[in-house]
Chain A
Amino acid sequence: MPELQGLYDAVVNGDQKAAVRLTKEGLDAGVEPMELLSSYMIPAMDEVGRRFECEDYFVPELLLAARAMKGAMELIRPLLTASGAQPAGRVAIGTVKGDLHDIGKNLVASMLEGGGFDVLDLGADVAPEKFVDAVENKKVDLICLSALLTVTMPSMRTTIEALERAGVRDKVKVIVGGAPVTEQFAKDIRADGYGENANSAVALARKLVMAARAA
C-alpha cells in the first residue's frame, strides 16, 4: 500500500508530479477513487484554503496546489463517473460578458473543484446564453459569476435576466463575486448570494446546493 498521506502533502505543496504518481499508485493498489478524493485531496485543498485565508499562502501557491489536484483528478474523474458517484454539486463558472480578468474566477473554480464540485469552467467574457445553456443542457446546480471591473458588473444583471427570460432561473442558484461586487449589489440583481473570497464562495456553494437538494 502506498503512503497516501503523501498525496495530501503533494497537493498542499503544489507538487503535481508527486500527486499524479501517488494517485496512480493508490489506484493500482486498489484504493477506491472516492477514498483518494474525500480522504486526501479534498482535505488537502481545505488546508490550502485555510492557509490562503490566513495569508500564509498566496495566489501562486494556490494555483500550484490546484494544478496538482487537477493532475490527480484527471485520473480519478473517469473512474468516479463510471461508478456513478455524485459530486458535491455541478457548477458553471465564468467571468461575465466584457470582462477578461479571470484570475479570481480561476481561484474560485479551483477551490470548488477541491471541494468536490464538478466544475464547468466557461472561461472569460462569457455571454449570458452560455450560462443559460449550462442550466438547460448540463444540468448545473449553481452558476458563479465573476467581474473585476465596475463597468462589467451590469453583465451580471444581464445574465440573471437571461436566465429569467429562458424560464430556468428557478432551476439554478446564482452567486456573484469580484473586487467591486458587494452584498447589496448581489441583492439588487436578485442573485442568491455573494462570495467575498474563494473560501466563502465554496462555503456558500455548499450551503446553497445542499438546501436546494433538501427542498
Chain B
Amino acid sequence: MTSRERVLAAIDGQPVDRLPLMPITMMYAADLGGVSYGQYARDHRCLVEAQLRTAEAFDFDYVSAISDPAREASDLGAEVEWFDNQPPAIIESRALLSDKSALKRLQLPDPHAAGSRMGDRVSAVALLAVRAGGDKIVEGWVEGPCAMAADLRGLNTLMLDFHDDEAFVTDLFEFAVAMELAFAKAQLQAGATLIGVGDAAASLVGPRTYQRYVFPYEQKLIDGLRALGARVRLHICGNTRKIVDGMGRLGCDIVDLDFLTPMAEARAAMGGRQVLLGNLDPVRVLRDGSPAGITQALEECWKAAGPRYIVGAGCEVPRGTPEANLRAMTEFARRTV
C-alpha cells in the first residue's frame, strides 16, 4: 500500500497493511530541514522541503502545510509578532477586533492574493502535491471557528463575549466559517486531500458554551468542507473530556486527541467508528521519555482506541525530541496491524 492508500483505507474502514502514522511536525521539521522557523512560516519552499525530509526520514504517511495560527489573521490586518526561530504570534493586546464594530468592515480575504500568508500556504499545498501527492496524503490546514474568533478578537476577550454579546459572537463565527471555507477550497484545488481544522480554543469553553456556540459553527465548517470533497481532521488540543461526544458527532474523518483526554473515554463517547489519532503526551512521553516508554504508551493508545486508530502525539512533536524517540513511533506503526 502507498501511504495515501493506507490513510484513505483507514478512514474508510477498509483493511490496512499497518497502522497509519501522522504526527504533527512543525518546529521539529524546520530543525530537521535546516531552516529557522521564521523561514518555515514565511516561505512555503522552506516548509515543503522540511516536510518532505521529515516524512521521508520517519516514514510518515502524510505531509502538511500547517505552520501557525496567524496566517488568516495576518491577511486581515492583525498585528503579528515575528520571531526568528519560533511561530509568529498574534498580539492580543492590539487585537484586530478590539473594537467590535470593526467586524462589519472586515472583507473576506482572497486566499490566492500574491504576497499573502494564506496564498503562501496554498502554494505550499500545491508544491507538496507535486512532490509527494502520488504517494502521501497532502494535508491543508485552516483555523476552526473558535480559534479564528480568538485570533481576531483576543482569546481572553472572546471568553467574556460568550456571556456579554451573543449576537457579536455568532456574527464573528459566521465570518470565520465563510473565510475558512474559501481558504480550504483554495487548498483543495491546489491538491490537498485532507483539511486539518485547528480549534484549540474550543477546549477552554466547557460543554455548555461548546454546544451552544462552538459546535454549530464547527458543524457548518465541517459540512462545508465535506461538500467540497475534503477529508477532514479535527485537532482540538487541550482537555476535551467534556466535549468529546460533540466532537464525535461532527462527522470528521479523523479526530485528534491530546494527552489530557484519555483515549478510552473518547472511544466510549464517540462510538467505535470514529477514527482517532493520538495521543502521547508530547513533552513528558515523546520528548523526555524513552523509546521503550513510547512503545508502551502507543500500545496502550492502540488498545484503548481499537482498530480505527492512527499513530500520533497529542499535539505537535516538540523541538528537541530525540531521533530515537520519533523512530520508536515509526517502528510501532510499521509493525502494528
Q: When each residue 112-133 of chain A gets 1 if its CB lies under 8 Å from chain B and 0 otherwise, what string results?
A: 0000000000011100000000
Q: Which of B86, B205, B288, B320 interacts with A98 by CB under 8 Å?
A: B86
Residue B209 at the A interface, CB < 8 A?
Answer: yes
Per-position binary interface string of chain B over residues 315-334, scored 1 when its CB falls under 8 Å from any chain A CB and 0 otherwise: 00011100000000000000
B318 near A180: Cβ-Cβ < 8 Å: yes
B160 contacts A67, C-beta separation under 8 Å = yes
Q: Is A169 an interface residue (CB 8 A)?
A: no
A25 at the interface (CB under 8 A from B): no
- Tell me the bound Cα distance from A101 to B151 in angstroms: 11
> How far apart are the CA atoms of A68 and B155 in the complex, in Å?
19
Task: Choose, from A2-10, A51-59, A134-142, the stretch at the interface.
Answer: A51-59
Interface pairs (14), CB distance under 8 Å: A55-B206, A55-B242, A58-B206, A59-B206, A60-B205, A63-B156, A63-B159, A63-B160, A98-B83, A100-B89, A100-B91, A103-B156, A151-B27, A180-B318
Q: Which residue of A lies closest to B241 (CB)?
A: A55
Query: Which chain B residues (165-199) contact chain A, with CB distance < 8 Å?
Result: none
Main SS of the interface on chain A? mixed
Q: Quick check: A58 and B283 within 8 Å, CB to CB? A: no
Q: List, in ascending order, chain B residues with CB within 8 A of A102's CB.
A: 92, 156
Across the interface, do A58 and B93 meet the contact criterion of CB distance under 8 Å? no
Distance in Å: Cβ of B140 to nearest Cβ of chain A: 24
Interface residues of A (CB under 8 A from B): 14, 55, 57-61, 63-64, 67, 98, 100-103, 106, 123-125, 149-152, 179-180, 182, 184
Most buried by B among A14, A106, A125, A180: A180
Please judge, given known A-B contacts A55-B241, A98-B86, whether A64 and B160 are in contact too, CB under 8 Å: yes
B204 within 8 A of A: yes
Min CB–CB distance A35 → chain B (angstroms): 29
Is B162 part of the contact surface with A, judged by Cβ < 8 Å? yes
- The docked-state distance in angstroms from the alpha carbon of A149 to that of B86 is 9
Q: Is the CB of B81 within 8 A of A59?
A: no
Q: A59-B205, A180-B283, A182-B284 are in contact. List 14 more A-B contacts (CB 8 A).
A: A55-B241, A58-B209, A59-B206, A60-B162, A60-B204, A67-B160, A100-B81, A100-B90, A103-B156, A123-B93, A125-B81, A152-B86, A179-B238, A182-B283
Q: A16 vs B160: C-alpha distance in the bound complex, in angstroms?
A: 12
Q: Which residues of B contact A (CB under 8 A)?
A: 27, 81, 83, 85-87, 89-93, 155-156, 159-160, 162-163, 204-206, 209, 238, 241-242, 282-284, 287-288, 318-320
Closest CB in chain A relative to B112 CB, distance in Å = 29
A179 to B287, CA, bound (A): 14
Which residue of A57, A98, A150 is within 8 Å of B318 (Cβ)? Answer: A150
Q: For A67, list chain B residues within 8 Å (CB).
A: 160
Q: A150 contacts which chain B residues (CB < 8 A)?
A: 282-283, 287, 318-320
Interface pair A100/B319, CB less than 8 Å apart: no
A60 engages B81 (CB within 8 Å): no
B283 proximity list for chain A (CB < 8 A): 150, 180, 182
Q: How far is the CA of A180 from the CA of B316 in the complex (A)?
A: 11
Q: Which of B27, B205, B288, B318 contacts A182 (CB 8 A)?
A: B288
For A103, the chain B residues whose CB sits under 8 A away are 155-156, 159, 204
Task: Give A124 to B155 CA distance when docked, in angstroms.
Answer: 13
Does B92 lie within 8 Å of A100, measured CB to CB?
yes
A149 contacts which chain B residues (CB < 8 A)?
Answer: 86-87
Identity of the chain B residue whose Cβ is nearest the Cβ of A183 in the assembled complex: B284
Q: In the bound complex, what is the Cα–Cα distance between A98 and B92 (angstroms)?
A: 14
Given contacts A60-B159, A63-B160, A150-B319, contact A124 B92 (CB under 8 A): yes
For B242, the chain A residues whose CB sits under 8 A away are 55, 58
